[in-house]
């Protein structure tokens, strides 16, 4: 079944380390507030043309962990020229989550600049100068929130100090607004550009006062994306658009079964074909997340490479390749579901006893979710230029720092000889956390000693994805005679690549709910061996656990004969022993109540129509959703409207935040409705959009978004909006039809979107 | 191998020594550097490569150069008039449509072709015309709103949708 452990490349450990890095800051960074008094901003000198350049830095545990040194690390900077140009660096990769706009807005707020005066630049990728730069785990906003605010406030304080000195006033008499320092009583004012030189001679303040949320002028407003104009006019923004000089084009052909090796191929014939420069075998480096074995075809054009590939004849050695078969695994999962779990994740009380207790009403259900692919619209690609022991990379990676170290190790060169140009990514969703296309392009560029653009086809992208793992939730639960939740068990039959840990995204990660909402609960795993590669997919784990657990709570509400909403709120209210960094029941209940009231919960809309509610906490975000749907006897499903209430702390960019929720609802419905990746003898299908349906505009429901803003630490919105949708729709289908869907995608139970 | 003369965005391009079956997508991207037209699926299923052939929408990934020679090709780069954006491009910015942005050139080209033949589409007509364009980020709400906004502006103008210089020659 699975590849033997000695050839597995340690993918689980590799991805665990990667995800661990990303989520290192998961706990709310309460300590960063206490650090406000320390001087941690550094003026940078040497700006051509003069003016104020402010680097800012923070001694953080994560920075130390990354660099291994207890030293100041620049995280980003802003620049104000005497001409009044204000440049703010956006430090993190933009993959569609809006951080290239949102992060500079945070600086701009405290700096009190007019947003139209600001030019945003993607910062270079440089761990020494900018610290950790990645897009993942919805971490960009929470990791940068305090740092960027203090940067803006420090620069503002220096500009104010410069004006105070010039006018002989005290700083306390001065105000700032719209990129100007103002002395209200005398009517004096000066633009930031005029003050930039003098501000640069000021010392960065030891301590700055940050604005109260009520005084925000920019944050919370709707600001269009800074790249919008370039996007709508077709500029070369993306990784796929880059063309280094003297470019060759390449494709890289890998075994249809993951892990297969090349024995031989008709390379001599391939090299004779029109437009083909070279064709060769690469052995791979043993890490499927970096370089798998395959055949590179290097050509004068993408099309020549693709055509030559059609003529490839390869003999594969599949003795070490994945040989998984979904149907066989599903049958074994069903057997495991009735046996004691292999791993207990968390346990309290005695579920078995509560389920047996004749005074309780007990339920058991079995939920199945299939594997799915990331399928970002931009298929994987990378460009690389190798020359004199140095390499330049062009990529829309989510983890540029990792890409640099991986390429350095792969090519046997120092990482200072790897330069990565960070490009906008045509969708990430977790796929671009893994840098296999970058490593492939680098290896090909080194081999040919030149520049190459590697292009994956859509089929390559699907076949070589790191999938969202499928799984099987064997649920047990009970309510007492008062209709209260007394027992809850989720026995997840998941997959393991190494025999000891679930694959990436395949573990239950308790955050306090619902396992701490009743006296008897158990979360547990059993594992099946797997060779298919899995990886983080938008809200890993949460994206399917939310569906199974919140659907099953809906089943228990029905068993108790109670209103789903009332039951949901009661279970949240019953949480004891909250998990640090986990769900906050008051914030949770507030989102549920808000979503329900805005959706008009309790309206009787007639036969075949119903509402369902679900709540989930992921990536520090509390989100409740109510789905309003119709379903007929032939399972034709229409999702009319989804009402969302989210508490992610303060909102940075209202337009971007709403977009993330709207997009998450569409993505979740898309995935829930019809997407499934199957595999037989380790071979993946389907491989393109003709059989892997993405939601289309016609089936897009109305989405109403409400935010509960607070002074809690903010979190990002790339992920938390997605998990509640599937259970909200599932609960609504039950409310409308009395039928409980227990399979994702719904198409496997015969549902079609109408 | 063959040579072709193409009219793209009102400009003539001579393309020498290419295979006749080369999809126009790769000619635009690799040969001519017009990279606004995107590769998404290669089988005309996603719409990321949507261009106009004689003002009608077409999927560049599945059209060989030999089939489009002699036709008037418009790509996203040619939709605006210099710095003056097409009304849809401006509406896309105003509604802050893009998330990742990768599919948006194709979306805009599909919408522009719709307004080309029907300056004041209903929501149903918008959904039908845009059905072949996928967005993995889920920006459909704002795509629909952006097209609606331009359609509504056209209604107020009595149905005229195009700046004069972009008025289609057909019909």
Q: What DSSP string describes A123-173? A: PP--HHHH------TT-HHHHHHHHHHHHHHHHHHHHHHHHHHHHT--GGG
Rounded distance between C-alpha atoms, residue A122 and residue A100, angstroms: 7
Residues of B in contact with A695 (CB under 8 A): 138, 140
Mean pLDDT, chain B, whole residue set: 93
Cα R_g (chain B), whole angstroms = 16
pLDDT greater than 60 at residue A65: no
SS3 of residue A516 by DSSP: coil
Instruction: Assess whether pLDDT exceeds 60 at residue A70.
Output: no
For tokens 């009044």, what's the residue?
A84
Please, which residues have CB within 8 angstroms of residue A412's CB and are 6 or more apart in sequence?
A: none
The confidence score (pLDDT) of residue A62 equals: 35
Q: Which residues in chain A have their CB less than 8 angstroms from residue B135's CB?
A: 377, 666, 694, 697
Residue A60 scores a pLDDT above 60:
no
Provide mean pLDDT across the span A288-312.
Answer: 97
Chain B residue with Cα closest to A424: B100
**Cβ atoms of residues A145 and A211 within 8 Å:** no
3-class SS of residue A203: coil
Q: Over range B16-36, report the average pLDDT.
A: 97
Query: CA of A307 to nearest chain B CA: how many angstroms apart?
Result: 9
pLDDT at B161: 52
Q: For A311-329, how does the pLDDT look when each residue is reduced to its tens digit (9 = 90+)?
A: 999 999 999 999 999 999 9
Determine which of A282-296, A400-414, A636-650, B154-168 has the lowest per-residue pLDDT on average: B154-168
Mean predicted confidence (pLDDT) in A617-634: 97
Domains of chain B: 2-78 (3.10.20.30), 87-166 (1.10.150.120)
For residue A467, give the nearest of A686, A262, A663, A669 by alpha carbon: A686
Over residues A402-424, mean pLDDT:
96
Q: How many CA atoms within 13 Å lie on the side-chain side of A167?
A: 23
Domain ranges of chain A: 25-232, 242-320+381-455, 501-516+531-753
For residue A427, give the chain B residue with the closest CA.
B100
Query: Cα–Cα distance between A410 and A455 in angstroms, integer?
Result: 20
CB contact under 8 Å between A375 and B136, yes or no, is: yes
**Does the CA dihedral A426-A430-A431-A436 come out positive or negative?**
positive
- Look up the CATH number of domain A501-516+531-753: 3.30.365.10
Lowest mean pLDDT segment, chosen from A113-127, A402-416, A645-659: A113-127
What ipTM does the predicted assembly reach?
Answer: 0.94
* Contact criterion met (CB < 8 Å) for A224 and B94: yes
Does residue A598 register a pLDDT over 80?
Answer: yes
Average pLDDT of chain A, as a whole number: 91
pLDDT tens across A138-174, in order?
988 998 898 889 889 988 998 999 999 999 999 999 9
pTM greater than 0.95:
no
What 3 state SS string does A258-311 have? CCCEEEEECHHHHHCCCCEEEEEEECCCCCCCCCCCEEEEEECCHHHHHHHHHC
The residue of chain B nearest to residue A698, with distances taken between CA atoms, is B127
Q: Is the pLDDT of residue A58 over 70?
A: no
B168 has pLDDT over 70: no
All residues of chain A having their beta carbon less than 8 Å from the beta carbon of residue B29 are 241, 302
Angle ∠(A414,A417,A420) on CA atoms, nearest 5: 120
Shortest Cα–Cα distance, A10 to chain B (Å): 30
Dihedrals φ, ψ of A623, to 5°? -135, 130
DSSP characters for A567-606?
Answer: HHHHHHHT--SPPTTS--HHHHHHHHHHHHHHHTTT----
List the single residue in B with minimal CA-CA distance to A241: B35
**Which residues are registered as beta bridge partners of A89?**
A121
Q: Flag the least confident range among A120-134, A503-517, A544-558, A707-721.
A: A120-134
Which residues pair with residue B6 across a beta bridge?
A: B13
Closest residue to A302, CB basis, from B30, B36, B130:
B30
CATH, domain range A242-320+381-455: 3.30.365.10
Q: What is the pLDDT of residues A213-253, one digit of tens each?
A: 999 999 999 999 999 999 999 999 999 999 988 899 999 99
> In terms of CA atoms, which chain A residue is nearest residue B143?
A697
What secondary structure letter does DSSP report for B32?
S
Would the CB atoms of B96 and A655 count as touching at under 8 Å?
Answer: yes
Q: pLDDT, tens digit, for every residue of A428-460?
A: 999 999 999 999 999 999 999 999 999 999 999
- Among the ranges A43-57, A85-99, A553-567, which has the highest mean pLDDT value? A553-567
For residue A705, the model assigns a pLDDT of 98
Least confident of A28-37, A380-389, B51-60: A28-37
Class for domain A25-232, per CATH? alpha beta
Looking at per-residue pLDDT, the higher value among A52 and A251 belongs to: A251
Confidence of residue A338 (pLDDT cuts 50, 70, 90): very high
Looking at residue A66, the DSSP 8-state letter turns out to be H
A78: enclosing H helix or E strand: strand A74-80
Residue A53 has a pLDDT of 67
Instruction: Provide the pLDDT confidence category of residue A200 given band limits of 50, 70 and 90.
Output: confident
Hey, how many other C-beta atoms are within 10 angstroms of the C-beta on A740? 17
Residue B123 predicted with pLDDT over 90: yes
Instruction: Please choose, from the candidates A634, A677, A623, A290, the residue with its C-alpha nearest in 3D space to the C-alpha of residue A467.
Output: A677
Helices A564-573 and A585-599, packing angle to 10 deg: 160
* Per-residue pLDDT at A334 exceeds 70: yes
- Residue B16, chain A, CB below 8 Å: the answer is no
pLDDT (average), residues A10-27: 67
Asked whether the predicted pLDDT for residue A56 surpasses 80, the reply is no
Cα–Cα distance for residue pair A559/A487, rounded to 1 Å: 13
Rounded Cα–Cα distance for residues A556 and A282 (Å) = 55
pLDDT at A187 over 80: yes
Q: What is the pLDDT of residue B162?
A: 52
**A-contacting residues of B 93-152, CB under 8 Å?**
93-94, 96-105, 108, 126-128, 130-131, 133-144
With a pLDDT cut of 90, the percent of chain A lying above it is: 80
* B89 Cβ under 8 Å from any chain A Cβ: yes
Query: Is the fold of A25-232 the same as that of A242-320+381-455?
Result: yes
Give me the pLDDT at residue A150, please. 87
């Amino acid at each position: 079944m699975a590849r033997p452990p000695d050839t597995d490349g340690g993918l689980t450990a590799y991805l665990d380390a990667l995800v661990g890095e990303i989520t290192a800051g998961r706990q709310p960074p309460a300590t960063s507030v206490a650090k406000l008094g320390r001087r941690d901003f550094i003026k940078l000198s040497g700006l051509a043309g003069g003016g104020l350049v402010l680097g800012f830095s923070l001694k953080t545990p994560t920075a130390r962990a990354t660099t291994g040194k207890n030293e100041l690390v620049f995280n980003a900077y802003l620049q104000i020229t005497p001409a009044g140009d204000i440049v703010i660096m956006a430090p993190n990769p933009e993959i569609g989550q809006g951080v290239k706009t949102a992060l500079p807005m945070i600086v701009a707020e405290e700096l009190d600049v007019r947003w139209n005066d600001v030019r945003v630049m993607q910062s270079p990728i440089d761990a020494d100068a900018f610290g950790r730069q990645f897009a993942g785990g919805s971490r960009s906003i929470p990791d940068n929130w305090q740092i960027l605010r203090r940067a803006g406030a420090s620069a503002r304080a220096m500009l104010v100090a410069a004006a105070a000195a010039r006018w002989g006033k005290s700083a306390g008499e001065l105000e700032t607004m719209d990129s100007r320092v103002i002395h209200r009583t005398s009517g004096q004012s000066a633009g930031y550009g005029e003050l930039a030189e003098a501000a640069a001679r000021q010392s960065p303040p030891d301590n700055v006062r940050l604005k109260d949320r009520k005084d925000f002028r920019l944050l919370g407003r709707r600001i269009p994306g800074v790249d919008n104009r370039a996007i709508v006019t077709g500029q070369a923004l993306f990784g796929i658009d880059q063309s280094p000089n003297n470019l060759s084009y390449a494709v890289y052909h890998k075994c249809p079964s993951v892990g297969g090796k090349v024995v031989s191929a008709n390379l001599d014939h391939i090299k004779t074909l029109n437009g083909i420069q070279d064709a060769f075998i690469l052995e791979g480096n043993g890490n499927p997340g970096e370089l798998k074995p395959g055949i590179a075809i290097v050509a004068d054009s993408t099309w020549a490479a693709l055509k030559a590939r059609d003529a490839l004849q390869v003999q594969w050695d599949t003795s070490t390749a994945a040989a998984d078969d979904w149907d066989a695994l599903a049958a074994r999962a069903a057997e495991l579901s009735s046996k004691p779990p292999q791993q207990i994740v968390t346990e309290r009380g005695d579920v078995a006893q509560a389920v047996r207790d004749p005074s309780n009403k007990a339920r058991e259900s079995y939920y199945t979710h299939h594997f799915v692919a990331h399928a970002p619209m931009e298929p994987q690609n990378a460009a690389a230029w190798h020359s004199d022991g140095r390499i330049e990379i062009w990529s829309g990676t989510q983890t540029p720092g990792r890409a640099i170290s991986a390429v350095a190790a792969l090519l046997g060169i120092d990482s200072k000889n790897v330069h990565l140009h960070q490009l906008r990514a045509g969708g990430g969703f977790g796929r671009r956390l893994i840098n296999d296309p970058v490593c492939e392009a680098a290896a090909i560029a080194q081999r040919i000693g030149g520049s190459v653009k590697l292009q994956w086809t859509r089929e390559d992208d699907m076949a070589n994805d790191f999938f969202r793992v499928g799984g099987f939730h064997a649920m047990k639960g009970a309510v007492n005679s008062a209709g209260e939740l007394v027992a809850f068990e989720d026995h997840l039959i998941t997959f393991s690549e190494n025999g000891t840990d679930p694959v990436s995204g395949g573990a239950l990660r308790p955050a306090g709910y619902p396992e701490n909402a009743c006296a008897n609960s158990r979360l547990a795993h059993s594992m099946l061996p797997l060779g298919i590669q899995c990886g983080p997919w938008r809200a890993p784990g949460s994206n399917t656990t939310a569906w199974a657990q919140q659907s099953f709570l809906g089943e228990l509400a029905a068993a108790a004969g109670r209103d789903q909403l009332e039951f949901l709120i009661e279970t949240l209210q019953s949480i004891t022993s909250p998990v640090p960094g986990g769900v906050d029941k008051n914030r949770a209940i507030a989102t549920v109540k808000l979503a329900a009231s805005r959706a008009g919960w309790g309206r009787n809309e007639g036969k075949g129509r119903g509402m369902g509610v679900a709540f989930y906490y992921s990536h520090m975000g509390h989100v409740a959703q109510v789905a309003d749907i119709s379903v007929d006897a032939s399972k034709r499903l229409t999702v009319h409207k989804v009402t969302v209430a989210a508490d992610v702390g303060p909102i940075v960019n209202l337009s971007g935040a709403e977009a993330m929720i709207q997009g998450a609802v569409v993505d979740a419905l898309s995935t829930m409705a019809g997407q499934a990746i199957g595999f037989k003898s380790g071979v993946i299908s389907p491989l393109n959009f003709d059989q892997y349906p993405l939601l289309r505009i016609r089936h897009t429901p109305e989405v109403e978004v409400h935010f509960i803003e607070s002074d809690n630490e903010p979190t990002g919105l790339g992920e938390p909006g997605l998990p509640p949708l599937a259970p909200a729709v599932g609960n609504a289908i039950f409310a409308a039809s009395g039928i409980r869907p227990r399979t994702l995608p719904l198409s496997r139970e015969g549902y079609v979107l109408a | 191998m063959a040579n072709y003369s193409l009219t793209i965005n009102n400009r003539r391009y001579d393309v020498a020594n290419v295979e006749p079956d080369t999809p126009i997508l790769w000619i635009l991207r690799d040969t001519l550097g017009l990279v606004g037209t995107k590769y998404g699926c290669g089988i005309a299923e996603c719409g990321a490569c949507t261009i106009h052939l004689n003002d009608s929408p077409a999927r560049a990934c599945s059209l060989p150069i030999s089939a489009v020679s002699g036709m008037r090709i418009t790509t996203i780069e040619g939709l605006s008039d210099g710095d003056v954006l097409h009304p849809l491009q401006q509406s896309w910015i105003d509604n802050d449509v893009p998330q990742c942005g990768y599919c948006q050139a194709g979306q805009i080209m599909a919408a522009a072709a719709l307004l080309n033949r029907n300056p004041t589409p209903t929501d149903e007509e918008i959904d039908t015309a845009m059905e072949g364009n996928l967005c993995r980020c889920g920006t459909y709400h704002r795509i629909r709103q952006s097209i609606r906004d331009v359609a509504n502006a056209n209604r107020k103008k009595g149905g005229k949708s195009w700046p004069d210089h972009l008025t289609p020659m057909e019909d």
